[in-house]
Structure 1
Amino acid sequence: MEENCFCGNKKSYTICCKILHNNILKTETAEQLMRSRYSAFASGNGDYLMKSHHSKTRVLEDKKEIIAWAESVTWIKLEVLETTKGKKEDTEGTVTFNAHYYENGKVNILNEKSAFVKENGHWVYLGLAD
């Protein structure tokens, strides 16, 4: 039996984030996109990380560096703390989360409030929210 998805949902990766990794247009909410990006970090899926990043804030040259860092740590869990807007009918939203990971012998927590917008009809990561 396949383990739960990296993003923390009780579904398997195959029927959770993998569907979004294969077709970003299936992402319906900002939180779903954020969870799928966490799964992409946890699985080293740099192509999805680039595709799910807004075209104006995406730096393609960073792809190798991002993948190298994502694969150098052990991802432990994701906690979604707050979601503002970001529903199917919205065009923008924020998601505040804690991403727990193990690096250099200790557990670290990345706490972030991320901004998401719709671009070309689907959700993308814009950057850090105010």
Structure 2
Amino acid sequence: MPRRQNRRPAATRLSPTAPCPCGRPAAYDDCCGALHQGRAAATTAEQLMRSRYAAFAVRDAAYLLRTWHSGTRPPDLRFDGDVRWTGLDILGSTGGTAFHTEGTVEFRARFLVDGQPGDQYENSRFGREDGAWAYVDALPERTA
């Protein structure tokens, strides 16, 4: 997701009853907030994807790094203070259930930068690490 290395904006605090940034019809505390705070674990790759998007929205670098596969995890993560995440569309998925060890989630994330809309498309790959879902990497985009 877009980021610049020169800024370290503060985390965004959401009210526990605020709508969850992931787009599910639930309060943040009952949805992705429970995962961010370690009170719950993602049971599917899609749930992890949604919680990671919400972590970008609230700038929770610790959660993002904790849910990144150790084989591809960067040493640190910085956010672009000019980016405000505004929505997530799940476009499709493969595998990624309680019965799988791998899965993909295709999504489009919307954002604003200096008031200008943009989006990021990605088909993310997930795998289990120590029994928990972890983000591995983005699959290369297909060319026509």
Q: From 87, 96, 105, give the equivalent of 1:86.
A: 96
Are the equivalent residues in 2 in contact too, given 1:25–1:121 (CA < 8 A)?
no
Question: How many corresponding residue pairs?
Answer: 125
Pair 115,22 (structure 1): closer, same or farther in 2 beyond 3 Å: same
Matches within 5 A, 1:11-50: 11-23=26-38, 26-50=41-65
Distance 2:51 2:117 in 1: 22
Using structure 1 for the length normalisation, give the TM-score.
Answer: 0.90
SS in 1 for 2:62: helix
CA RMSD across the alignment: 1.6
Distance in 2 between the 1:35 and 1:24 partners? 16
TM-score (norm 2): 0.82
- What is the rounded CA distance, in whole Å, between the counterparts of 1:127 and 1:32 in structure 2? 16
TM superposition shift of 1:21: 1.0
Amino acid at match of 1:89: F
Distance 1:25-1:129 versus aligned 2 partners, 3 A rule: farther
Unaligned runs of 5+ in 2: 1-14
Q: Which residue number corresponds to residue 85 of structure 2?
A: 75
Q: Whose radius of gyration is greater, 1 or 2? A: 2
Q: Which one has a larger percent helix, Structure 1 or Structure 2?
A: 1
Paired position in structure 1 for 2:127: 117
